[in-house]
Structures are given as C-alpha cells and as structure tokens.
C-alpha cells in the first residue's frame, strides 16, 4: 500500500503557487500498479481477504470476533457425518473428505462439506479472524488493515521583501531614454515585465522610498515613504511610488536601519529581504555633505544580516563605485572576500528588469514543508515527479531531503517550478512515512 501525495501548482507569468493542503491517498490490493505506486483515487478503506482450503483429514477451527458497540459473534456447530468418527462443536474434526472454507471480510462464514449445521452471529461492523489448522500443517491469518491517509501540507516558503528605492535628486538623470526613477518604476510595476506585478501573489512585497532634505531644514532624516508588507500589494506600492518625486540626499545607511524593524516584526515563516536600488554614493544623516556615508551604509547592511535580514544591492547606473557596491553586498549577505557576494549594476532598462527578477527568483526557494515525516533511510521509497517526469533523488537537478519533514527541489527541478506552470507529485510507500 502506498501514500500518494499530490499537489497541482498553477503558475501565472512564470510564478508557481501552492494550495493549502494535499491528500495522501492509500492504494489497496489490486488498485496498486505494477511498480508499486498507486494512481490517483479517492480515500478508501483497505480490506484484506483470506481463503484457506484443505482436503483430507482436517482439524478446523472457526472463531469470529467482532468489535464495536455491543458486538458479539458466537459459532456453535453440531455435525453428524456419514464418515466414521466425524464430530464438530465449535471445532470440526472429520476423518475423511472434509473441505473447510473460511472467508473473512467484516463478517465470518464457516461451511463444512460434512452434514453440519452452523450458527454465526456477528455485528455489522466487525473485525474477524479466521484460523484453519489441517493436521497441524497449515495456518493462515487475516486482519482487516487500517486506513493509511492524512492531510498533508506542502508549500514553498513565501519571502518578505522590502524594495528600498533611493529617492535622491540624481534619480532624475537620463537612463536609456527615460529617467532612472522611471526605469525603476517600470522594472517594478510594468504589467509585462515588472517584478512586483508578476510575483505579488507569491511574495510579500513592501515599498520604502528614502531621501532627506538638503541641509535637513526640517530636522527629519531619513525621510521615508512606505507601504506595509503584504501579498497582492502591487496597486498600493504603485500608488505610493507615483505620488513621490526624486529630491535631495541619499542617507542609505539610516534607511536600511529604518526598514529592518519592519521586517523583523513579520512572521518567521519565510526569508526576510531588502532589495536596495540606489544610483549614487551615500551620505549620512550626521554628515549630509560630502557623500562619505559608505561606512555607515556597510555597517547598516552588516547589522541587518546579523539580525536575520538579507540585503541585495542594485546600482542604477554607473555612479556608485564597484568597491562600495562589493562591500555593501558582502555585508548584506554575510560574505567576505575572496568569496564575494553578487551585486548588480544596471546600465539600461532591461538590465534593471533582469536584476530585480534574478534577485526575487533567488529568494523564492524550492523547499516543500510536509506535515508528515519521511523515515530515515527510506528516502528511496519516495518518488517525485514534475509534469509526470520523475526527478532523481540526491541529484544536482533533482530533489533532496533537508529534514524528515522538508523536501527541496534543486537545480533544474527548482528552475522548472519557478519559471513555468507545473504539476508536482510526491509518492511514498506507507512504511516510509510517519504521520
């Protein structure tokens, strides 16, 4: 008997999503296919049938026991046989030509080929056991098997992402035929290519715009415009972005510091991420001019990572030095040279779209959390298919078991569910699952 865990994963615009629950369905008896794995079917009760035939001198015992309210089963049989010495009282002994058949399927029937009468009383919901002994040579037993089934949850983690956009005056500069500010808007909200427009149902997005007033005339730094972080948040983020215009300074470090508590206050069921899009060297609230806030920005990114928030860096244009971008990326992802973290430097609109898409797809992982456990050492008794094609276990482009209750698709298998409309099926043998 097999567990069959099934989930259909619809995708829109290259994004996959999971429903809340899958059903583990048992396969019983002849419903199993030749390879031992069952096809799709409704949850059913597994039943076992036992048949024992004996010819020749036999000793036959038939006992029927039933479970349930006020359940009882008694069998009294008096037998007179034309054969010499045939006698039966609950146990049937016959010297010749006795055939004894015992069938068990919730009710117990016992028939003897000799002249016999048998009375059997059994409640309708009974479990029955049948034992047949033929001269001590044969014994067969049968128990009705229990249902193997459970509701199983498996879904990818949904990341929490704040898009942190530099709102300083330099964002009005030309960027492949439009302003940098307009190019970022398109990369986020365009219905065909915008990362937020595409992924808003799978990623908890929020928007934070940051600047400060030149000389801090109003005593506020950083100046932040923000939306809450939520699924299906594209319209609210679009509205906020459209209501603001670039002006003044670039206090990047303080803006990172301001966003981190927002992310930390959210549930811990997904990665927490800041995607920083900036076009210039940072200044700071303490020293707005000149733009020497690099150390403050790097320290803020490092503190964010230590607190549990990753920081990814996109340069809009070429005004930010590669060294500062690398230092900021390393701090935000907890990496140190020579194993440098990746940062993105976009020189045109398509480069900006590609940068956002690469980052968001990277944080949308392919881990499937189960509410059952796979038995240690029995991973090979499970099978994973994507669109009916089996993906191998412990393969760079297959699947792996991170924990007894977590499967991860890796390599090409992960890319398949991130980029297309797919159906994922997980099948495990009953003995490989702990509920």
165 and 287, same domain (yes or no)? yes
For residues 41 and 18, what is the distance between their CA atoms, to the nearest angstrom?
Answer: 20
Residues spanned by the domain of 384: 2-45+149-155+373-394+419-434
Q: Do the beta carbons of residue 166 and residue 314 sit within 8 Å?
A: no
Domain assignment present for 326:
yes
> Higher confidence at residue 312 or residue 37?
312
For residues 143 and 285, what is the distance between their CA atoms, to the nearest angstrom?
Answer: 77
pLDDT range class, residue 94, cuts 50, 70, 90: very low
What average pLDDT does range 220-224 have in this prediction? 92
**What sign does the dihedral 321-324-328-330 (CA atoms) show?**
positive
Q: Do the beta carbons of residue 360 and residue 408 sit within 8 Å?
A: no
Q: What was the pLDDT predicted at 154?
A: 52
Domain assignment present for 286:
yes
Strand partners, 92: 60, 88
Q: Do the beta carbons of residue 187 and residue 193 sit within 8 Å?
A: yes
215 and 276, same domain (yes or no)? yes
Q: What was the pLDDT predicted at 309?
A: 98
Biggest CA-to-CA distance, the chain: 119
- Nearest 5°: phi and psi at 407? -105, 140
Domain assignment present for 425:
yes
Domain assignment present for 220:
yes
Q: Do the beta carbons of residue 52 and residue 130 sit within 8 Å?
A: yes
302 and 358, same domain (yes or no)? yes
What average pLDDT does range 6-16 have in this prediction? 35
pLDDT above 50 (res 362)? yes
pLDDT above 90 (res 420)? no
pLDDT tens for residues 122-172? 333 434 333 433 344 433 333 333 323 333 345 567 899 999 999 999 999
Enter the tokens of residue 137: 């040579």
Domain assignment present for 399:
no
For residues 106 and 122, what is the distance between their CA atoms, to the nearest angstrom?
Answer: 9
- Whole-number percent of the chain with pLDDT over 90: 45
pLDDT range class, residue 434, cuts 50, 70, 90: confident
For residues 201 and 197, what is the distance between their CA atoms, to the nearest angstrom?
Answer: 9
Q: What was the pLDDT predicted at 423?
A: 79
Residue 347 CA, distance from chain mean position: 37
Q: What was the pLDDT predicted at 417?
A: 79
227 and 191, same domain (yes or no)? yes
Tokens 């191998």 belong to: 392
* Percent of the chain as helix, strand, coil, to the nearest 5: 25, 30, 45
Q: What was the pLDDT predicted at 433?
A: 86
- Nearest 5°: phi and psi at 292? -125, 40
Q: Do the beta carbons of residue 133 and residue 141 sit within 8 Å?
A: no
> Higher confidence at residue 219 or residue 392?
392
Domain assignment present for 414:
no
253 and 318, same domain (yes or no)? yes
Q: What was the pLDDT predicted at 23?
A: 33
For residues 81 and 86, what is the distance between their CA atoms, to the nearest angstrom?
Answer: 5
CB atoms within 10 A of CB 11: 15
- Residue 29's nearest CA partner among 12, 41, 14 is 41
Angle at the Cα of 361 from the Cα atoms of 358 and 363, rounded to 5 degrees: 110
What average pLDDT does range 106-125 have in this prediction? 39
Tokens 């097999």 belong to: 2
pLDDT range class, residue 93, cuts 50, 70, 90: very low
Q: What was the pLDDT predicted at 218?
A: 59
386 and 252, same domain (yes or no)? no
- Residue 101's nearest CA partner among 157, 62, 145 is 62
pTM for this entry: 0.62
- CATH number, residue 357: 3.40.50.410
As a whole number, the mean pLDDT across the chain is 72
pLDDT above 90 (res 230)? yes
Neighbouring residues of 6: CB distance < 8 A, sequence distance ≥ 6:
22, 23, 25, 40, 425, 426
Q: What was the pLDDT predicted at 310?
A: 98
183 and 254, same domain (yes or no)? yes
302 and 424, same domain (yes or no)? no
281 and 423, same domain (yes or no)? no
Domain assignment present for 62:
no
For residues 124 and 105, what is the distance between their CA atoms, to the nearest angstrom?
Answer: 11
Angle at the Cα of 130 from the Cα atoms of 125 and 132, rounded to 5 degrees: 165
For residues 349 and 180, what is the distance between their CA atoms, to the nearest angstrom?
Answer: 9
377 and 270, same domain (yes or no)? no
pLDDT tens for residues 236-277? 999 999 999 999 999 999 999 999 999 999 998 889 999 999
Q: What was the pLDDT predicted at 365?
A: 77
What average pLDDT does range 25-34 have in this prediction? 36
Angle at the Cα of 217 from the Cα atoms of 212 and 218, rounded to 5 degrees: 75
Cβ density class 255-291: b for 16+ within 10 Å, e for less: bbbbbbebbeebeeebbbbbbbbbbbbbbbbeebeeb
Q: Do the beta carbons of residue 208 and residue 162 sit within 8 Å?
A: yes
171 and 31, same domain (yes or no)? no
Q: What was the pLDDT predicted at 217?
A: 55
324 and 378, same domain (yes or no)? no
Domain assignment present for 72:
no
Total number of domains constituting the chain: 2
pLDDT tens for residues 280-323? 999 999 887 777 899 999 999 999 999 999 999 999 999 999 99
Lowest mean pLDDT, pick from 60-69, 344-353, 417-426? 60-69
Tokens 């390393």 belong to: 330
Q: What was the pLDDT predicted at 215?
A: 55
Lowest mean pLDDT, pick from 22-31, 274-283, 322-331? 22-31
Q: What was the pLDDT predicted at 89?
A: 41
pLDDT above 80 (res 203)? yes
From 340, 363, 386, the end of a domain falls on 363
């Amino acid at each position: 008997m097999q567990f069959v865990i099934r989930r259909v994963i619809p995708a829109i615009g290259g994004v996959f999503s999971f429903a809340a629950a899958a059903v583990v369905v048992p396969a019983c008896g002849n419903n199993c296919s030749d390879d031992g794995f069952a096809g799709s079917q409704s949850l059913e009760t597994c039943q076992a049938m036992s048949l024992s035939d004996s010819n020749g001198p036999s000793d036959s015992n038939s006992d029927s026991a039933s479970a349930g309210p006020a359940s009882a089963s008694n069998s009294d049989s008096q037998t007179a046989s034309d054969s010499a010495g045939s006698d039966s009282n609950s146990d049937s002994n016959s010297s010749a030509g006795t055939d004894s058949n015992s069938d068990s399927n919730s009710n117990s029937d016992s028939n003897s080929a000799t002249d016999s009468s048998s009375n059997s009383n059994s409640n309708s919901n009974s479990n029955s056991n049948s034992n047949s002994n033929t001269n001590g040579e044969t014994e067969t037993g049968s128990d009705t098997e229990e249902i193997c089934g459970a509701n199983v949850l498996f879904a990818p983690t949904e990341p929490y992402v704040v898009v942190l956009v530099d709102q300083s005056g330099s964002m009005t500069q030309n960027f492949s035929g439009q302003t940098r500010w307009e190019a970022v808007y398109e990369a986020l909200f365009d219905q065909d290519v915008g990362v937020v427009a595409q992924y808003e149902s799978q990623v908890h997005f929020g928007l934070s715009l940051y600047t400060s007033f030149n000389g801090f005339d109003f005593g506020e730094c950083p100046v932040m415009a923000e939306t809450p972080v939520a699924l299906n948040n594209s319209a609210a983020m679009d509205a906020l972005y459209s209501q603001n215009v670039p002006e003044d300074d670039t206090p990047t470090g303080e803006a990172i510091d301001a966003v981190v508590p927002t992310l930390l206050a959210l549930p811990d069921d997904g990665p927490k991420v800041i995607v920083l899009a900036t076009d210039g060297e940072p200044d700071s609230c303490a020293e707005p001019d000149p733009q020497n806030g690099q150390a403050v920005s790097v320290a803020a990114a490092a503190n964010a990572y230590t607190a549990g928030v990753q920081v990814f860096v996109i340069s809009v244009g070429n005004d930010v030095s590669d060294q500062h971008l690398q230092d900021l990326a390393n701090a935000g992802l907890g990496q140190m040279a020579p194993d440098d973290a990746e940062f993105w430097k976009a020189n045109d609109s398509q480069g900006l779209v590609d940068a956002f898409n690469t980052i968001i797809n990277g944080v949308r992982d392919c881990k499937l959390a189960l509410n059952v456990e796979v038995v240690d050492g029995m991973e090979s008794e499970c099978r994973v298919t994507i669109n009916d094609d089996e993906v191998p276990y412990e393969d760079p482009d297959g699947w792996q078991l991170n924990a007894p209750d977590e499967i991860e698709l890796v390599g090409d298998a992960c890319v398949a569910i991130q980029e297309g409309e797919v159906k994922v099926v997980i099948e495990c043998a009953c003995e490989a699952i702990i509920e």
